[in-house]
Structure 1
Amino acid sequence: MKKSTKHFLIYSLLVSFFSFVFLSILSFAGIFTSLENKLYDWRMKSFSKKFAVSDDFCYIGIDQDSINSANREKKWGWPWPRSSYAEIVDF
């Protein structure tokens, strides 16, 4: 290997290592958290305008009584099979 190529490789590795260490320290200190939160807010505000709100919303509450009832009536053990969710939504 040429001397200049070897020096470039060592220099690149050192710069990469110290950059990684520096950015890791900043990340653990929480410096990027506020920046990420602001960028997330901006993305949500920007892209949410492009989609209309859907009225197709369904809340399905599953409690222990539901699990016991499904086990008795349909023989569905927990976790329920995928087909059960379609049947619940159709109901």
Structure 2
Amino acid sequence: MHRSLLALRRAHPDLVDPDLSAVQVTWDDADRWLVVHRGALRVVVNLAEEPREIDLDRPVADVWFSTDELPAVDGDTVTLAAESAAVVGVR
């Protein structure tokens, strides 16, 4: 898993851009999820003990990484398994 993440960082400069003023974070305390917005990538995290549908700001183009099974994607909505995370590209 670590090698996959390192390769992803090398392939996508948005993940390592030091300009944190361009980074945004959205979250829902009650549903226990968060999304880190970095350029055309989203790091989507489900901290809940059950799957979550998480609406993103733009349609998903690709799923680049997942800690669990690949998330289901429907337009700008990602469904993540319980206690999992994914890195997705958006259009």
Q: Give the TM-score, by structure 1 length.
A: 0.22
Q: Looking at both structures, which has the greater relative contact order when contacts are Cα pairs under 8 Å and sequence separation is at least 6?
A: 2
Which entry has the higher C-alpha Rg, 1 or 2?
Answer: 1
